[in-house]
Amino acid sequence: MRAPLRTLTLSTALAAVLALVPLPAGRLAAQQITATPLAEAETQAPAALIADRIELTGTDQLIAEGAVEVLWQGNHLTAPRLVYDQSTDRLSIEGPMRLTEPGATGTIVIADQAELSRDLQDGVMTGARMVMARELQLAAAKIEREGGRITRFSQVVASSCTICEGDPRPLWEIRARKITHDAAKRQLTFEGAQLRTLGVPVLFVPRLSTPDPTVERMTGLLRPKFRSTSLLGTGLELPYFITLGESADLTLTPFVASSRTATLKARYRRAFSTGGIEVNTAYSRDDVLPDAARGYLFATGAFALPRDFTLGMELRLVKDPSYLDNYDITDEDRLWSGLTLERVRPDEWIRARGGNTHTIRAGESNSTQPMLAGDLRWIQIFHPRALGGELALDWQLDALRRASDDPLDGTDADSVADGRDRVRASLVADWRRNWVLPAGVLATTQAELAIDAVRVWQDASYDPETLRALPSVGVRLSWPWARAGMKSTQLIEPVAQLVWSRDSLAEVPNEDSLLVEFDEGNLFSFSRLPGSDARERGLRANLGLSWTLDASAGWSLGLVAGRVIRAEDLDQFSEGSGLSGLRSDWLITSHLNLANGLLLSNRALFDDDFALTRDELRFGYATGRYNLSLGYAWLQADPAEGRTEDTSELRLASGVQLAPGWRSTMETHYDFTAARASKAAVGLQYGNECVTLDVSLSRKYSSSTSVDPDTSFGLTVELAGLGGTTAANAARRVCRR
């Protein structure tokens, strides 16, 4: 506890706070000194002094002793004794002294003694230690400060690790003959630097420049990554970051491996007042395709436009089908490039999208697939007073083109003309209104009219021009029952919906409704087909029952069951969709969410004989130490959706906090149908207050003719305080006395 302030040479009972202004000759009279509260000291005078004893000598010196504190424009100096000499305008400070500079991450200097200028910006400190941004520590025999900008350290040791008296060896340290810190450039320059790990020298660098810990972006090397793959060999990625002003930067990353692999990656980013762009590209020469240049180019951009519009741009180009997988860039096998214009308002949604898709999927041809496509959609919401309820108008324009001009299916045998092109314009008017009936029954009446105008080229299976209309009407009744208790609340809601649509509808090419998903989200939809080329028809009843339980203890349980019953089978859906026949499969979904972080959900489709059509299981568990994510999917074979055999696949990802700072991860994708893993990966991370280490090992298996199996090993090391940051779950060394 700090001792009470004492009156020694000054006749005041308060702490003496003295402005360090040039002193007149001789001793100041006691009545000339006024006590000033500490809260006001920083705002009133250029500098202020607090001490247990302050003495003005006849030699133009001010001597402060006992718990000395100096406040100067946010700087805070503490020391046992301070002498200010007016003739030299210097401060002589006896330590141990502590100087804290302004700012939330201000530099802290501790020294045995110092000779400083009155503004604390120039001078020499001996036996000094500096802490920058609360991360990097620099201990030096001598520190020289010049103009408040340049600080020179002699015979210095730098580290961001905690150093204990009993074991002074940090996990890593840099010993240097000299270090210069430029506060204006926020840069550290090491001369004669030696990197040591646990006291053992591992690297010598004659000269090294690095940003100080306060820097967020500066031209220079980023942390390297060691990488070894069975396809590309063993090598090192060494990124070099280049700032291009305040709003742009460029990162160049060469990768040279032990094989003949040589790659140069580049990333360019640019921010504008209304948006930004990012370009990623690479050029490679390797042993995978020895006689070919390989590479890719990805670019994205997003901009805010007037009248609430946003513009998105995307470019995806690759030289050969296996490049993206070989270099672990993305798992995408269809690359879309184009423009998107969009506006979202409470009563309106507009989206225009156009571009080209390039497939690198095995068995697909860019000439016979509808790769060039564009669409425009405009949804308006109205609330007509005469009818009540809500009216939605959905305007659509959709066009697609194949590169081939062949009007027959002569290349890929997929039952689609190789050169078929199509344009469709549609309008869907949907009106619905809700009613509350006696006994709490909720009723919804709905009417819809869909009109399509379709033009087809180069496919004799369809009329060149088609104009069609499909009216639909429906009514939905639900009767929610609620029960509230002390420990839980339950809600049971039976729902019945009757929908009529015309049985017949002119057939047009189906390009956007090939993959059908039957779930609780569309159980009561007018159409369960995802697009507009095909529309659900006929008289049908959608029946369902939902039950939820919310417990006051923080857990919940839910169940939804339902199916679709049709008056006539119009052969609109495939067997694998679960919607075929007079009666659809039973849809059963359930979820369990516990307060301890466990989540379990399942969705199943099965027929009256309990034969499964689809089943999707998801499990998740997350706590402070463990996290586990598991997904399993089983799908019945369905040639109409491109599945010639049953699909059974497991995806598992987990992470375990092994100890403070240590964390392991694991991921696998297993194909039960093929009886093999498609991907497996393990990782180990360690992080403490001064270093982050990340080790990864992965294996990709592939049966594709364009992609070979590959095993990859990666290693990255990041030093906090030298361009790196401390990990969020980092362990911290505790010194024991």
Q: What is the CATH number of the domain that holds 10?
A: 2.60.450
Q: Measuring CA to CA, how many Å separate 496 from each of 44, 240, 581, 609?
A: 77, 63, 19, 24
Residue 18 lies in a domain: yes
Per-residue pLDDT of 438-494, as tens digits, reads: 999 999 999 999 999 999 999 999 999 999 999 999 999 999 999 998 899 999 999
Q: Model's pTM, two decimal places? A: 0.81
- Report, in this order, helix, strand and coil percent for the chain, each rounded to 5: 5, 55, 40
Per-residue pLDDT of 575-615, as tens digits, reads: 899 999 999 999 999 999 998 889 999 999 999 999 999 99
Chain-centre distance for alpha carbon 298: 18
Confidence band of 276 (pLDDT split at 50, 70, 90): very high
State the average pLDDT over residues 565-580.
Answer: 94
Task: Reply yes or no on whether the pLDDT at 46 is more than 70.
Answer: no
Task: Reply yes or no on whether the pLDDT at 41 is more than 70.
Answer: no
Residue 295 lies in a domain: no
* Domain end position, chosen among 645, 666, 689: 645
Reduce the secondary structure of 80-133 to three states and give it as a string.
EEEEEECCCCEEEEEEEEEEECCCCCCCEEEEEEEEEECCCCCEEEEEEEEEEC
141-145, 232-236, 422-426, 694-698, range with greatest mean pLDDT = 422-426
Residue at 559: amino acid letter: L
Per-residue pLDDT of 637-673, as tens digits, reads: 998 888 888 999 999 999 998 888 899 999 999 989 8
The two structure tokens encoding residue 618: 């998801």
Per-residue pLDDT of 378-431, as tens digits, reads: 999 999 998 899 999 999 999 999 999 999 887 777 788 999 999 999 999 999
Q: Is the peptide bond before 22 cis (omega within 30 degrees of 0)?
A: no
Average pLDDT, the chain: 86
The whole-angstrom separation of Cα 431 and Cα 475 is: 12
Residue 608 lies in a domain: yes
The domain tally of the chain equals 2
Confidence band of 15 (pLDDT split at 50, 70, 90): very low
Per-residue pLDDT of 511-533, as tens digits, reads: 999 899 999 999 999 999 999 99
Which of the residue ranges 19-28, 178-187, 303-312, 470-479 would you say has the lowest mean pLDDT? 19-28
Cα diameter, the chain: 114
Confidence band of 104 (pLDDT split at 50, 70, 90): low
The whole-angstrom separation of Cα 687 and Cα 722 is: 15
523-526-530-532 Cα dihedral, nearest 10 degrees? 170
Q: What percentage of residues in the chain have a pLDDT greater than 90?
A: 53
- Exposure of 31 by Cβ count < 10 A (0-12 exposed, 13-18 middle, 19+ buried)? exposed
pLDDT of residue 731: 72
Task: Reply yes or no on whether the pLDDT at 29 is more than 60.
Answer: no
Residue range(s) defining the domain that contains residue 42: 1-120
Residue 380 lies in a domain: no
SS3 641: helix
Task: Reply yes or no on whether the pLDDT at 160 is more than 90.
Answer: no
Per-residue pLDDT of 338-375, as tens digits, reads: 999 999 999 999 999 999 999 998 888 899 999 999 99
State the average pLDDT over residues 209-219.
Answer: 82
The whole-angstrom separation of Cα 396 and Cα 511 is: 15
Confidence band of 563 (pLDDT split at 50, 70, 90): very high
Which is nearest to 563 in space by CA: 537, 581, 548, 590?
581
pLDDT of residue 409: 84
Residue 432 lies in a domain: yes
pLDDT of residue 23: 34
Task: Reply yes or no on whether the pLDDT at 17 is more than 50.
Answer: no
Residue 569 lies in a domain: yes
The two structure tokens encoding residue 492: 């049971």
Residue 480 lies in a domain: yes
- Exposure of 715 by Cβ count < 10 A (0-12 exposed, 13-18 middle, 19+ buried)? middle
Residue 256 lies in a domain: no
pLDDT of residue 27: 28
pLDDT of residue 243: 92
